[in-house]
Chain A
Amino acid sequence: APAIAQSNPKITWRLTSSFPKSLDTIYGGAEDIAKHVAAATDGNFTIQPFAAAEIVPGMQAADAVSNSTVEMCHTCSYYFVGKDPTFAIGTAIPFGLNARLSNAWFYQGNGNTLLNEFYAKHNIYGLPAGNTGAQMGGWFRKEINTVDDFKGVKMRIAGIAGRVLEKLGAVPQQIAGGDIYPALEKGTIDAAEWVGPYDDNKLGFAKVAKYYYYPAFWEGGPTIHAFINLEKWNSLPKAYQAALTDACAFANTNMMAKYDSKNPMAIKQIVSQGTTLRPFSQDILEACYNASLEVYKDISSKNADFKKIYEDQVSFKKEGYLWMQLSEYTFDTFMMIQQRNGKL
């Protein structure tokens, strides 16, 4: 019947990922989206994923969506903080939300609505489409016991987190990707952060830096986004919009699931190579926390969008972390004791 034909038009989109295929877990999110959309629409709406640089370089993905070079991309919002710091909140800001609360804020709080009001200014519609969970704080050649130990530490760390550590005296050096490993090996830089055990292990950082610090307080539960060209999104039939929304939600959950199932083995592999695990001390975290608040105050005074969305997230965070203490934290703590006592 013609009515059906009209509501199920053949549509083909390109998706440019900001990630290489070697980051299989994150890149896999784009493949999840494509598969689920095709299945949900009987193959009428197809999305062809491309790895970073196949169409545009990873860091240019938002530009490509914004000017409709491609219909959508799979990326981290915070790659684009240079355009507007507000982009950072979409992924993660230092001492932001964990993965659970991130999803709560996006799906049930104002997160998605507020960010999409902002993204619309860049001709983008955004949907959460992946999460890595709390990341690791990175690889250090020397111990970081006190706040002062950060002074002069040359670290490869990007974005707002770099600004925060700079306040503590660290030296952010965003050297070329291919140079990270040899530079860390020989001490040209003292530290580098990447993702978490599964991805870090593939690059073999355990061979070149002794200390593996945690957590990445700048990435407590970073969300990976699907950015869709706003007009293309609006022109989609409602059924396809729903299919795409669901597919992104699935990719969001599935990526987190992959990381949570792969990281435990990976961390064992890393430790078996002689790596020393270290938490950042509470003093360090507090100093960083205070430095972050200064940074947020500074940005908020200059950027109304940032201020509005940041404040909404903070008020959500206040309530969220009250509830987390009563629920997961207590339960998890008990279970962790059982784990440590070998009773699981």
Chain B
Amino acid sequence: MFEYGIMPPAMFLGMIIFMLYGFPVAFSLSAVGLFFGLLGIATGHFEFAFLQALPLRIFGIVSNDLLLAIPFFTFMGAVLERCGLAEDLLEGTGKLFGAIPGGLAYAVILVGAILGAITGTVAASVITMGVISLPIMLKYGYNPRLATGVIAASGTITQVIPPSLVLIVLADQLGRSVGDMYLGAIGPSILQVVIFLLFILALSIFRPKDVPPLPLEARGEMNAALVIKVLWGMIPSIVLIFLVLGTIFMGLATPTEAGALGVVGAMVLAALHRRLTWDLIRQGMHSTMTITSMVVFILVGATCFSLVFQGMDGGLWIEYLLSHVPGGAVGFLIFVNIFVFFLAFFLDFFEIAFIVLPMLAPVAHSLGIDLIWFGVLLCVNMQTSFMHPPFGFALFYLRSIAPKSVKTRDIYLGAIPWLGMQLILVAIIIFWPESVIYWLDKTPEVDLNTIKIEVPGFGSGSGNQMPNFGLPPMDGAPAQPGQPSQPAMPNFGEPPKINP
């Protein structure tokens, strides 16, 4: 524990205390960093000049173009939230499933997944679904704990389903490609949705009173007209999924830029719904500005903390602790997941990704753990940071829109089974890596001794090259001085011959 002195653990303790104090997290983090920075100078860990790294680090945050995804996805969420698209989706799907017990809950889960494939931020999903379906669920007798739980959890899966801000940030931190992260996340996304659906199924069997079907007058007669209406309502979402993912697939935009195109797409949809007003755009960009500034300022605060933490040999300390976890790779993974799960009580996913992940990644790498799999695993684990009381963002969004009759206590308690299901998925991924790896492109094992490469020649033909120095013929006859060795030379454009 104290192999690297008392300072690194003290900094963690200090961080928790400073944050609990209740002043904005960004400034509490920078304060705890600077406070320990002064201590570090006093104890000779480093000199005053060491803290000059701070503006360089802040510049590094600002110039990290991947972070542009934050304003883009937030802006898209803000427009979506107000344009009525999710509303149509949810209403239609709710009516479609309304007749069966748990129908509304199924609808929420499926719509959560669809919204998840459009956007990368949790807020838009939770709020839209909360505003639209929570009142209906409560009105028709859903257990408030279940209603809030399913909405929060279904809104949270958006961060596992590509496109996802969390996956982008994780890929960046792990030095792996975003594309592979997205592929690796497909399996767990599907599993998570299935687990949620199965849970509702189980409830509808064992506790049907919690999830009653909708009465006829609320859902309407099930007929072809309704089905068509539902399908019609889905078209805009499909268009938007195409716009965001499609622009990446057709090579129009990078994953970051796809967020910006998604904003434009969301605005077009809003216009088609005749809800695009200057006021909507103004509100959207205004809230995007404050959210972006708020989130990135947490990084600014975190950077003050982690610089000083590095200066106190905190990196070495964490590496020491993690590499002394018994049980090899599996032991490490279990430890890390418990560790991240508990950190998520205090920290948001951004703080975890930026403060903790850089310390975990090298150890994972040295243990031979596939970093894509590791990243997806952590992403699933970090879903819980949105969900668990008392700092889960998803719960706060719900609180802000839920009627007074729903007690905060209900929201907190309602989250617990869903937290459990998220952890079940974590366990599945740990013990069944195929759930992630299956979706990745695999390079077949090849016996390299069988690979022969014939390098195309270079320097023959016209030009000012020195005649004596072309590659001589392949039969091994020595090149004649003064004679270009053209005959055996493959042309420039010709690919090398490969004999596998």
Contact = CB atoms under 8 A, between A and B. Distances in A.
A342 to B, nearest CB: 9
Interface residues of B, number: 71
A63 B56 contact: yes
Contact of A187 (B251, B465, B479): B251
Interface in A312-344: 325, 329-330, 333-334, 336-338, 340-341, 343
Contacts of A54: 310, 315, 358
A282 B461 contact: yes
B482 interface: no
B453 A271 contact: yes
Contacts of A338: 476
B310 A282 contact: no
A68 interface: yes
Given A69-B56, A182-B178, A282-B458, A207 B471 contact: no
A15 interface: no
B471 A337 contact: yes
A272 B448 contact: yes
Interface stretch (A31-39, A262-270, A299-307): A262-270
A20 B365 CA distance: 12
B59 A22 contact: no
A21 B57 CA distance: 18
A143 interface: yes
Contact of B56 (A56, A181, A267): A56
A178 interface: yes
Contact of B495 (A20, A67, A277, A329): A277
B220 interface: no
Contacts of A341: 474-476
Interface string B441-471: 1010010100101111011010101100101
Interface string A67-83: 11110000000000000
Interface size classification for chain A: 35 or more
Contacts of B295: none
Contacts of B175: 20, 22
B155 interface: no
B194 interface: no
A337 B456 CA distance: 13
Contacts of A178: 66, 168, 171-172, 177-178, 255
Nearest to B253: A188
A290 interface: no
B178 A336 contact: no
B60 interface: yes
A204 B180 contact: yes
Nearest to A201: B443
B500 interface: yes
A5 interface: no
B164 to A, nearest CB: 13
Interface in A78-95: none
B307 A182 contact: no
A60 interface: yes
B405 interface: no
B251 A188 contact: yes
B140 interface: no
A187 to B, nearest CB: 3
A330 B470 CA distance: 10
B244 to A, nearest CB: 13
Contact of A55 (B68, B249, B307, B441): B307
Contacts of B65: 175-176, 179
Contacts of A108: none
A186 interface: yes
Nearest to B457: A279
A50 interface: yes
Given A53-B358, A69-B52, A179-B66, A277 B455 contact: yes
A282 B315 contact: no
A162 interface: no
A175 B248 CA distance: 14
A69 B254 contact: no
Contacts of B475: 341
Given A57-B56, A325-B466, A337-B472, A186 B250 contact: yes
Interface in B469-500: 469, 471-472, 474-476, 478-479, 492-493, 495-496, 498, 500
Given A60-B59, A177-B172, A181-B179, A277 B254 contact: no
Interface in B248-265: 248-257
A234 interface: no
Given A69-B56, A341-B476, A50 B310 contact: yes
Interface centre among A51, A265, A272, A329 (most CB of B within 10 A): A272
B49 interface: yes
Contacts of A276: 495-496
Contacts of A278: 456, 493, 495
A282 B56 contact: no
B53 interface: yes
A15 B71 CA distance: 34
Given A57-B60, A183-B255, A340-B455, 7 more contacts: A68-B52, A177-B66, A179-B178, A203-B177, A271-B496, A277-B495, A278-B495
24 contacts: A20-B175, A50-B310, A53-B57, A55-B311, A60-B57, A64-B53, A176-B64, A176-B66, A176-B172, A176-B254, A178-B177, A179-B65, A179-B255, A186-B251, A187-B251, A188-B253, A268-B451, A271-B453, A277-B456, A277-B496, A278-B493, A337-B471, A338-B476, A340-B455
Interface of A: 14, 20-22, 50-51, 53-57, 59-60, 63-64, 67-70, 143, 145, 175-183, 185-188, 203-204, 206-208, 265, 267-269, 271-273, 276-279, 281-282, 286, 325, 329-330, 333-334, 336-338, 340-341, 343
